[in-house]
Structure 1
């Protein structure tokens, strides 16, 4: 596709200025549930303890920075999704802004990160199940496999089914989380906030790199934008609702874990269980497992949906083999792309079962690739959106903040470099094949 949308990869959508026919699709409730489910991932189950281990109580600053960054980033992606409703999401925006050569590595970075992030989310949920049932890592792996199979299976039968499931589960999830936080907060102790920065202020940057795993998800709704009946009206409302819910849960849970649990949380793989035990006693075990499974499933479900759509769009536009393109039209189910993601998930789970890879390393690996995608998407927003609008200013702020954060990822930066290299090799291979076909 050329930057202006012409050529063999032309997007088959109406232009932003033409009327879009309203068709039955995802509603505001389902969309908000999918959005919140994508952002409030399984990482929320472990990140309060992991971030506190890195930066101590000062990790609350890292959580606050992440929440503040959500606002401009989400507004920029909403503006792009409203203007260019398409399953390609950020890859589509980058194509329009910089051409297909730039979009291919961006699409690959998101698409091939989805199964890694999903396995990580499912495994965290599995650890909570293992903590309740016993059995150690084997039980955690088996539980994670069940979460993955149910989420990918529900998406196999279409997004409407997934959206309804997500709506019911996110509502229950919010009720349980808020109950846990509100019942535990009266036990907050001021001494748990001292010393505030035991590892120095630079450690806050290290905590931020971990928390980017929880930050990922704000782009997910752009891949589903073509499924909304009226994205121009619905997406801003969905974004506003989602930002409010996410900010409330993130900051409330992080403060409660540090203020109530304090040093007792360090090294724990199940901080939410500990928090709920302080608030509601013996019923905490069952409720924690419920929350863990719902959070993990919500993440896997939403990212499987958006990732599958992206893969189909990349196949349609030539950034992946054309075989992936089946199911790329609005209303269709991209089962081929979804199947590839499921296979990659199976391979990652196999590696996890035989190699001593920690969840923290998986989170950081997924985070650096997500940040790379966000940098490209916000750069496209700066170029495509009307200057000096609120969304454009948000894109500029988000872009500067994310580029600066890359320095904290250190050797993990090799991952996006490798993906860019592989994507460029694929592009050159496709170009060579095209030349061979047209040469007499």
Structure 2
């Protein structure tokens, strides 16, 4: 029996690059075991919630030392690359409205082995970004506790040899991951409602920051504008890009949204516009209010420190820290959600064990996946400092964006008559520009980021070659290429 279910598949191009059939007609909204009840506003909030926060609340301390005041341009460069890719995501999400995000899109357009390589990117970017956000959240939490005259949550026991301060575990980050896991296990709709509330709090807090920071705006802080030249701008854009993972998270909810072929493109575009506007506004205000040299080393609640310096009072930074604690919670929540749904899609396709397809009959959530993600992310967040994490997320996100943009072109050629409620404008110029922009941002990353990334992808592809391809559900379909 096991032999018939898991045949030994020959290692040939025909099997490595076989395509998953595209959902057509009623299949696009078929019952997959998940609960389809997320609205357009909630899905837009997923994108904003997973994006605004990571790039603003604490990545400035890494990006400004690299680019100087020209970090404003870095945000625009990253935003243009992400925007072009988001438009491509909108078409793919409307044409292939399923869970799994770029993994599922690659499976339908580029082939099984490429999909597994993309899955490696997604698992890396979601897992590491969740950990990076949790690390930054702990700084704002302890800043808030100090402002309230409550003892900060201590870092305890650890010995991470690569850490500049060995012997420390980031306990607040682990607590955050555990709280998000509990909420996700309770249900996707509950998580979506909580996230929407958090997003509105976040936008209000950042608007307050911009208003106060602009009151102390000093044009002298913009000079020298680009001390490291355009190479610094590019390097900072690569660092910043990890925060745009939130746009990808929208497409992980394809099987839990109402009317996905219309809802997903609308949510992607709305989230993109909101995110870029907030990033440019807040970064411009921050640079105008504080000299670029002071950003370095401000990982712990950097924006709150700016408000302290500007007002000389504690209440603005207290509000900002409270808002950051609440809103960065939403980033962790959504990125954890996205990773659990990618694991679900992979398990359903046979690329991972059936363990990852189990759905709780009461909550209709993949509890096993949530627990696994929480454990892995807790280890990363507890032991690895933030500056080791951001670039690893950026490279995974950029590769995923390139695959989606290429997938738009391939699918237009291979299945020109496929129903597409949303189409990329200025095709094929837009997807080509998206690919070029992402490659440009990739060029600014450190060499060791590529090394770690390639090792990780090699591990996942090796798993596929020895296990995944023999358990793929396409082994038992009559039309593995999906072209009948």
Mapped to 2, the partners of 1:328 and 1:177 lie a distance apart of 37
Larger mean Cα displacement after TM superposition, 263-272 or 131-140:
131-140
Change (3 A) 1:122 1:339: same
Write out the 4+ residue segments of structure 1 that deviate beyond 6 Å after TM superposition. Answer: none
Partner of 1:290: 322
2:69–2:224 Cα contact (<8 Å) kept: yes
Partner of 1:201: 230
Partner of 1:70: 82
Q: Of the candidates 143, 150, 155, which is equivalent to residue 138 of structure 1?
A: 155
Write out aligned runs for 1:10-409 (5 A): 13=23, 15=24, 20=29, 25-134=37-146, 135=152, 138=155, 141-262=170-291, 263-269=293-299, 270-277=301-308, 278=310, 281-327=313-359, 332-352=364-384, 358-385=385-412, 389-390=424-425, 392-409=428-445
Larger mean Cα displacement after TM superposition, 318-327 or 178-187:
318-327
Structure showing the higher helix proportion among its residues? 1
Mapped to 1, the partners of 2:78 and 2:64 lie a distance apart of 15
2:91–2:424 Cα contact (<8 Å) kept: no
Change (3 A) 1:73 1:137: farther
For residues 405-437 of structure 1, what are the alpha-carbon distances to aligned partners after superposition, in whole Å with 9 as ceiling and x for unaligned?
3222222101231122112211221268669x9
Q: TM-score, normalised by structure 2?
A: 0.81
- Give the deviation of 1:74 after TM superposition: 1.0
Mapped to 2, the partners of 1:422 and 1:143 lie a distance apart of 31
Mapped to 2, the partners of 1:276 and 1:238 lie a distance apart of 32
Change (3 A) 1:28 1:168: same
Mapped to 2, the partners of 1:432 and 1:240 lie a distance apart of 35
Q: Secondary structure at 1:408's aligned position in 2? A: coil
Partner of 1:411: 448
Structure 2 unpaired stretches of 5+: 1-14, 147-151, 157-168, 417-422, 477-484
Change (3 A) 1:434 1:160: closer
Mapped to 1, the partners of 2:397 and 2:437 lie a distance apart of 14
Mapped to 2, the partners of 1:66 and 1:408 lie a distance apart of 11
Cα RMSD for the two superposed structures:
2.8
- Give the deviation of 1:17 after TM superposition: 8.2
